[in-house]
Amino acid sequence: SLSLSLLSLSLTHFFSSIMKRAEVSSGGSDGRPEGPKRSKSVVQPDRDHQQPLHAPSTIAHKRDGGSWTDREVRRIVEAIVDEEMSREQIGALLMAVYLQGMSTAETVALTNAFVASGDKLSWPASYAGSVVDKHSTGGVGDKISLPLAPALAACGMKVPMISGRGLGHTGGTLDKLESIPGFRVEHSADFMRRTLDDVGCCIVGQTASLVPADKIVYGIRDVTATVGSVPLITASIVSKKVAEGLAALVLDVKVGRAAFMQSREDATTLARSMVDAATGSGVKTVALLTAMDHPIGNAVGNALEVTESVLCLRGKGPDDLRELVCAEGGHLIAANTGCTYEEGHAKIQAVLDDGSALAKFEAMLVAQGTPADVAQNLCRDQEDPGTVLPSAPLQTVIPIKAAAMPAGQDHAWIDDINAMLVAKFCCGLGAGRKVATDKVDFAVGMELMVKVGDKVAVGDGWVRVHHREPLTAKQQRELAKMIVLVPDARDGPPPRVLGIVE
């Protein structure tokens, strides 16, 4: 059609203009910049600089629907890290990938090239087959990593968990842990090895030497509208996990209105891509599609989620949190020990109930800087976990209002608790970041007092807000929009796990 022809012509003009500008800015048609270069990246000995990368033709090949070989992908990543390609050229290349996609083979090659751009963690021979981790695409109240890592360690696994900070509506594992007094997340590879020997698990931030290519590429994706590319998402996530030297990986791909992937179809596509890339890189991998319409557990907010995680490690806490911890842990144990998923699931349940997972968590806290008495008070069953964590000066219980009730009724059932609205509200309180430089308030957040399916009456409290300033009228209106009541009884919350991709 005429409109498609015009679109094709405009895209061709866009790429041509970008590549012409890139040749000028880079000092030559081969895409190599003039002037001094920084030292070469930490890449393994298969680097191949005999064949200079001609960036414009490489970009044009993908723009026109072509595929790159493994060797071409490797050279592209080397050129990006060694600054042989200008930012304009990288941006054009990423847009070509966004529009044309990548095959499974290309995505695996990109993942491995990202890994090769930096260091890869190595482990003693005695760890063979036992090094595991998980990754979540991000959710609301997503505290799974905190009880999962020590539960796996209590089952004999080694868990070198590398996590991130929160941004936007999703919380970050590192932010939650840093609400614990003294806990430190910046550690060396040597520290990780010692801690895995002594404890069996650690949860740390990413070091600069792991996957430096992804950091460069992600920074350009963010300003070129290419963040949503499935192959680029896949390589970014999976490369970091492959660089950990894992034997097995479980992926928690969230689905729903508070997830990055809001449809089951899109989530399945991403899960399939990541499973194929990780498996193609030598890591046994399974992905769980999990529901993200309602918050996970009851707590949303950093210190509040730590408290809830400790309750889970005591064999208590919300059912849906325990469901996800046991499901993800069960798959990882099954992948590495030869047992069935059901047996792996039962092992995770057992260590949550008998206190051994909690003991691992306490040992991990001390290893990562928390004073022993603080860790003990947080974890011992006779203590309230919240007493050693930051707390907000104000706590307000929000009641069910008569105006929210179905007409003519004095009671109703909770039909919905909107996770996205909860997350945005908590972010507004200070629990999250709108930009990466924002400071997080560890103490603020929300505690849900009801779940979907609960029967409520006018005046019943449905949420406790932890805050620093009095709630405004605008905030009160925002709270009222988070829940939906219906006149007839309805089922309780649906299962969290919606499907599995292997």
Any idea which residues carry the catalytic annotation?
Answer: 133-136, 173, 221, 236, 240-241
Say what the alpha-carbon torsion angle 95, 98, 104, 105 is, to the nearest 10 degrees: -10
Report yes or no: 385 and 441 within 8 Å, Cβ to Cβ: no
At 499, which amino acid appears?
G
- CA separation for the pair 179, 302 (Å, rounded): 6
Task: Put residue 83 in one of left, alpha, beta given phi > 0 → left and psi -120 to 50 → alpha.
Answer: left
At 464, which amino acid appears?
R
Q: Which regions of 179-221 does DSSP assign to beta strands (E)? A: 201-205
276-307: burial string, b at 16+ Cβ within 10 Å, e else: bbbbbbebbbbbbbbbbbbbbbbbbbbbbbbb
**Closest alpha carbon to 68 in 98, 104, 106:** 106
Q: Which residues contact 354 (CB under 8 A, 6 or more apart)?
A: 315
Q: Which residues contact 479 (CB under 8 A, 6 or more apart)?
A: 398, 425, 463, 465, 471
At 461, which amino acid appears?
G
Report yes or no: 85 and 213 within 8 Å, Cβ to Cβ: no
- Distance (Å) of CA 48 to CA 31, 37, 44: 16, 17, 10
State the burial class of residue 222 (Cβ atoms within 10 Å of its Cβ: 0-12, 13-18, 19+): exposed
**Closest alpha carbon to 143 in 168, 177, 169, 183:** 177
- CA separation for the pair 48, 76 (Å, rounded): 11
**Closest alpha carbon to 28 in 4, 2, 62, 52:** 52
- CA separation for the pair 451, 463 (Å, rounded): 10
- CA separation for the pair 366, 359 (Å, rounded): 11
Q: What 3-state class would DSSP assign to 155?
A: coil
Order of strands across the sheet that contains 248-255: 132-136, 248-255, 284-291, 497-501
Q: Token digits for 15?
A: 């790429």
Report yes or no: 161 and 199 within 8 Å, Cβ to Cβ: no
- CA separation for the pair 156, 398 (Å, rounded): 44
